[in-house]
Structures are given as structure tokens and as C-alpha cells.
Copies of this chain bind each other. A is one copy, B any other.
Amino acid sequence: MSPADDYSVLASSPAAAAILTALVTSGPQSRVSLARKLGLSSAAVTKSARPLIDAGYLSELDATERTGPGAGRPASPLTVRADREFFLGVKLTGDELIGVVCDLTAKIRAVSHRPLRSSAVVDVLAEITAMTGELLDGPGNYRERTRRLGLAVSGDVDRASGLVRYSPFLRWRNVLLGKLAAAATGLVVTVENDVKALTTAEHWFGEGAGADSFALVTVGQGIGCGLVVNGRPVSGSHGVAGEIGHISVDAAGPQCHCGSRGCVEAIAGTSYIVAAAGTSTIDEAVAQARAGDPRVTAVFARAGEAIGLGIAAVANLVGPAHIVVSGEGLSAYDLFEPHIRSGFERQAFGAAADCPLSIRPLPFEEWARGAAAVSIQSRLVPLA
């Protein structure tokens, strides 16, 4: 069956897309359980699952494969065939592309890195094309089952049109990246803001899976936040949401690039840490702090504290079920973690302090996986 035929399986039936989405995000389930969860009749689930089984997206687990309690009556749970379709994900930074191939359940199957010597649009497109070719034609034979590419870019991105309105690290304004990359690669392309992409990956496939509310805070050059509230991502009525980096936590704090002062980002963003530490790179600042330099240690402590206050603001305002703190800045998370926690605990109001924080470093591959997760999502929920 050709990819075009596969596509029609989902496009012709919202119920089929809903079934596949539920199985992709929540694992194997019986038809009865799917029917209950999706508000469909069992007959409708059986009918809609049939073409997915025929097209190779789903299979039935037989009795011997089933585990867990309540498996009394034989009910043939449905499960996703993860290798039925693959998805490319590429994260663009100012000086590097990081690419992955993921399967339908967002498991990383292959990884590639490529330096970016120029951020001119034409050069970046050439590198994306070379990278996707390398990944698809390398070991694993992914080309045949891959039609889609997700791109993740920091900055102001309009996912619906694939437009990068503004990306400071690439120095881009109004680049129609989706259309250009589709023409260059021949793939169906989705473009998303990198923090939103990572939030999608965590909400669909990670620690936030199935949560009605969830926050992902990213620490690095910028301090960002992806939010899920009432079961759906928060995108902001005026195009701005999740800007935890521009909560002011110190009236007398340092000047921020946004024009205000004392913002979380002006205390904890990588370039502000480097400036406050008086070093030339963040690695140098980390090394000095680890060597016990009290002045530089205090810079990281203050940064962690500011992040903790920002996270407490998120918990106090929207009360997520769970908050994940991550990002490339947390490669030095041993320097931040206790101060993030103490700032959070001091400022979280009442039961908001019960919100669990997961603080962990995040390899750049995870950002690329986020891009692939958005591509999977756009495959399964065309309107998302």
C-alpha cells in the first residue's frame, strides 16, 4: 500500500484518527476501553479499526502477550505497530542542526548532527535537505515509510502557515520555512516553536502524558515555558503565552533585553549568567563554580532562585499537575537544582507546593524528538 493510500485511512475517518491517537499516546487497549474513552460505540470502534489493521498501523495482541490485572475475558487489545511509519524531526539552533528519525510512538531510531556554518535561509535549507537524505537513506531503510518532517525553531512561529515570524538566534524574520522545506525535501513539513514542540512530546509521550494540566520549563539562552491547561496547549489570545522568562522577580534586578528589569531571563538566561560571572563562556562559568569560586557559585544560586520564583508563579496561577524543568542550561543542573527548589518552595502558595517538579538535563536530541512529535501529531490530528 502506498503512503497516499495510508493517508486516506485517517483522512476519511475521524474515529480512526482518534483510535490511533489514543493507542499511540496511551498504549495498548481493548476495543471496549477505547469505546468508553472516546465516547463511541463498540461497533464503531471495531468498524473504524478494521482499515487501520488492514493498512498495517494496528495489530491485535493475542492472549499470551497480555499482562496486567483484569485480563479475564479474552478481549484482543489493539496495539500500534510503531514501525509502520517514521517521522523526521530537526531542531535548528544558531550553529547546528540536530536530526532524528522517530517511529509512530516517538521512539528515536536514528540521530544526526550537522554544523551550520551560515544561517542564511538558502544554506540552512541545503543542510536540512542533506541531513534528511542522510537519515532516510542510511541504515534502517526509513525512506519508504517516511513522508513527514517536523522542524523546531526558537522564536515566534506560526504553525498553521509554517511561517517563522522572528527567530533571534537565526536572525530570521518572516521566513516561510514550511513551504520552502517542503519544496526542498519533498516531505510534508510542520514547523513549530521549539518549546511548544518539546511540550507536545512531553504531553503526548513523556511525563505529562494524559495530564489535564502540565508545564515544561526550559532553561538556556532563554527561559521558556510550555503549558497545557484543561487538556489543551495554551497558545495565548494575543500570540504570547508561556513567557516565564519575563516575569519580574526583582524590582532592583538587572536590566533585561525586553526593556524591563529583574526578569527571570535577565538573571538566569545563559548570556546573563556569563556576564554576571565575568567569564567568556558558560562552560567556563560552570567550571569555576564547580571549582568552588564563591562569587560564581552565587551567580548560579541567584539564577536558580529566580527560576524557582518563576515556576512558583506558574504553580500559583494555573496549578499544573506536574512541572518538568529542563533545557540545555541544565547540563549544569547540579548548580541550579537546590536553588530552583528553594525558590519554588518559598513562593508556592499553600497546596501549590505539592506540585511535583522534575528537574533534569535535556539532550539536544530531545528537542529534535519534539519536532518529530509535532509531525506525528499533525499526522494524527490534522487540525491540531
**A residues apposed to B, CB below 8 Å:** 156, 211-213, 225, 227, 229-232, 234-244, 246-253, 258-260, 262, 309, 312-322, 346-347, 349-352, 354-355
Q: Which B residue sits closest to A235, measured CB to CB?
A: B319
> Given contacts A243-B317, A317-B317, is CB(A347)–CB(B248) below 8 Å?
yes
Q: Which residues of B have CB within 8 Å of A250?
A: 250-252
> Given contacts A230-B231, A238-B355, A251-B251, is CB(A246)–CB(B347) below 8 Å?
yes
A-B contact pairs, 9 of them (CB 8 A): A230-B231, A230-B234, A236-B319, A237-B319, A238-B354, A240-B319, A241-B317, A247-B317, A248-B312
A132→B86 CA distance, assembly (Å): 65
Q: Which residues of B have CB within 8 Å of A240?
A: 315-316, 319, 349-352
Q: Which residues of B have CB within 8 Å of A242?
A: 317
A300→B129 CA distance, assembly (Å): 59
Chain B proximity of A346: nearest CB distance (Å)? 5
Chain B proximity of A373: nearest CB distance (Å)? 20
Q: Which residues of B have CB within 8 Å of A312?
A: 246-248
Contact assessment for A316 and B351 in the assembled complex, using a CB-CB cutoff below 8 Å: no
A229→B262 CA distance, assembly (Å): 27
A225→B231 CA distance, assembly (Å): 21
Chain B proximity of A381: nearest CB distance (Å)? 15
> Given contacts A249-B249, A251-B250, is CB(A239)–CB(B316) below 8 Å?
no
